Structure 1
Amino acid sequence: MNKILLIIPAYNEQESILSTTKTIDEYNKNHSNTLDYIVINDGSKDNTENILVENQIPHIQLVHNLGIGGAVQTGYKYAFENGYDIAIQFDGDGQHDVNFVEDICKPILEGNANMSIGSRFVEGSTSEFKSTKARQMGIKIISAFIKCFTHEKLYDVTSGFRAIDRGLIQQFANDYPLEYPEPISTTQILKEGKHVSEVPVEMNERSGGVSSIRSWKNAYYMINVLLSIMIIGTRRSK
């Protein structure tokens, strides 16, 4: 049986982290293919750590805030060191639905993908939550840039609901972008000739906390993401 790990990055998620982990525990009670999970407490300044300790939730506490890239890479290091076959990034804010984990893992288990992305924008998704109109426009622009430089069309390029295989676990444990990790790491592996699939999922609005992308940062975020994609895209493939 394949070993599967959910990596849950959490920064100031006191309002939602307990309910998020409880949904996974409930899933495991009703399924034979149980899912392990590890919360990466990314230097939270609220009550997140106390909640994790009091409820004996498996977690790693980071003394300093590393940002989403550093937190998720910590999870990949843990997954690699503990022999997991698939690692899944899974948000701690209640946006992701554990019932779609099986769908996301399927392309990897069937040998059709190295990475599988849970998408709100592909055919078959009935997700009512698709983020704001401004962010949807930003996602479309990033998607167009990735296609321009990799010749692969992906739709939900900033989705944090992603599964990767054992090979990518090892790769990301050693080298993972600390900024803009989802679109940048996807661009990198596409340039390397690896296969990425998108799977329709439903997502929810975050149940608590604050998004890591603030509105005043949106222009800065977009410019830097697009420049990074251009740099990666124009490198000669090894």
Structure 2
Amino acid sequence: MPAARAIIVVPAWNEQLTVGETVREIRAATPDLPVLVVSDGSTDKTADVAREAGALVLELPFNLGVGGAMRAGFRYAVRHGYEAAVQVDADGQHDPNEVPALLEKLSEADLVIGGRFTSKDDTYKVRGPRKWAMVVLSKVLSRLAKTKLTDATSGFKATGGRALPVFAEHYPVEYLGDTIESMVIALRAGCKIVQVPAHMRPRRGGQPSHRPIKSMIYLFRAGFALLLALIRRYDLDQQLLESKSQPSPVKEGVVQ
């Protein structure tokens, strides 16, 4: 089967210290895949550093959050004829060498999650209320997806098939919407979700989006986000869904 055209989307907000090295590493690991950095209202030199590293750059005038940045990336992908998009964070925590494994699985699914916590020797650890939230979310979403998911909040994922046009129109921009709610939307659109093992690395620089002191707040927000996603109605375009009823065939690391 022919390979789908894929693009890597990197949402970035004030990541001038890390985005250049991240883009260079992505290009070295997947030289045939274009890299689009979405500068999410950055006030530093994120856009300039990304361009110098060889990325395409989409600059948003205001900070919309990861969900807003990714929706812009999905729309760029659809409008330019790409059939798959892979999210890689700008802080260097995701390993670009694992991108081909995500793309390969798109031959049988619409959304592929790079899941942490899939092996006992994984060095990425989460404790306290944040861990409790992740466990509960994963169990609920695993039941909805009818497959085992260990990492419902992973930002490392590949989107293709019917999920790509749906996300281009309906990707949520609210807090945690880009992880929890987006999966609920995908499932309601009839998308198939699978998970492959992935490893999380330490940040190259900057500040993490969640600090330990906010773990309890995260627990309540995560629960509320899931509840809201489950009760919210989504106006999904049935004609659009029917036109993308089959997953995109993707070969490892190939772009046409």
TM over 0.5: yes
**Matching of residue 19 in structure 1 with residue 21 in structure 2:** yes
Corresponding residue of 1:120: 116
| CA contact 1:145–1:226 (8 Å) conserved in 2 | no
| CA–CA separation in structure 1 for the residues paired with 2:93 and 2:195 | 17
Find the residue that maps to 2:78 and give its secondary structure: helix
| CA–CA separation in structure 1 for the residues paired with 2:11 and 2:227 | 28
Find the residue that maps to 2:132 and give its secondary structure: helix
Larger displacement relative to structure 2 (165-174 or 14-23): 165-174
Please report how far the alpha carbon of residue 57 of structure 1 lies from its aligned counterpart in structure 2 after TM superposition: 3.0
Corresponding residue of 2:89: 91
Please report how far the alpha carbon of residue 58 of structure 1 lies from its aligned counterpart in structure 2 after TM superposition: 1.2
Corresponding residue of 1:211: 208
4+ residue segments displaced more than 6 Å: 235-238
Letter aligned with residue 12 of structure 2: A
| CA contact 2:19–2:91 (8 Å) conserved in 1 | yes
CA RMSD of aligned residues (A): 2.5
Letter aligned with residue 98 of structure 1: P
Please report how far the alpha carbon of residue 189 of structure 1 lies from its aligned counterpart in structure 2 after TM superposition: 1.9
TM norm structure 1? 0.86
Find the residue that maps to 2:106 and give its secondary structure: helix
Please report how far the alpha carbon of residue 54 of structure 1 lies from its aligned counterpart in structure 2 after TM superposition: 4.3
Corresponding residue of 1:45: 43
| CA–CA separation in structure 2 for the residues paired with 1:52 and 1:235 | 37
Q: Please, which runs of 5 or more residues in structure 2 have no aligned partner?
A: 237-256
Could you tell me which of 179, 183, 188 is aligned with 1:186? 183
Please report how far the alpha carbon of residue 102 of structure 1 lies from its aligned counterpart in structure 2 after TM superposition: 1.0
Letter aligned with residue 116 of structure 1: V
Please report how far the alpha carbon of residue 152 of structure 1 lies from its aligned counterpart in structure 2 after TM superposition: 4.6
Find the residue that maps to 1:41 and give its secondary structure: strand
| CA contact 1:184–1:229 (8 Å) conserved in 2 | yes
| CA–CA separation in structure 2 for the residues paired with 1:24 and 1:153 | 28
Corresponding residue of 2:70: 72
Corresponding residue of 2:254: none
Could you tell me which of 164, 170, 179 is aligned with 1:175? 170
For these two proteins, the number of residue pairs brought into alignment is 231
Q: Compared with structure 1, are the counterparts of its residues 133 and 22 closer, same or farther at alpha carbon in structure 2 (3 Å cutoff)? A: farther
Letter aligned with residue 117 of structure 1: I
Q: Compared with structure 1, are the counterparts of its residues 126 and 190 closer, same or farther at alpha carbon in structure 2 (3 Å cutoff)? A: farther
Larger displacement relative to structure 2 (99-108 or 185-194): 185-194
Could you tell me which of 108, 117, 140 is aligned with 1:145? 140
Letter aligned with residue 198 of structure 2: V
Q: Compared with structure 1, are the counterparts of its residues 72 and 198 closer, same or farther at alpha carbon in structure 2 (3 Å cutoff)? A: same
TM norm structure 2? 0.80
Larger displacement relative to structure 2 (78-87 or 56-65): 56-65
Alpha-carbon displacement from aligned partner over 1:129-176 (angstroms, at most 9, x marks no partner) = 244555333311222333465655411111100001142111111111
| CA–CA separation in structure 2 for the residues paired with 1:134 and 1:221 | 8
Please report how far the alpha carbon of residue 187 of structure 1 lies from its aligned counterpart in structure 2 after TM superposition: 2.2
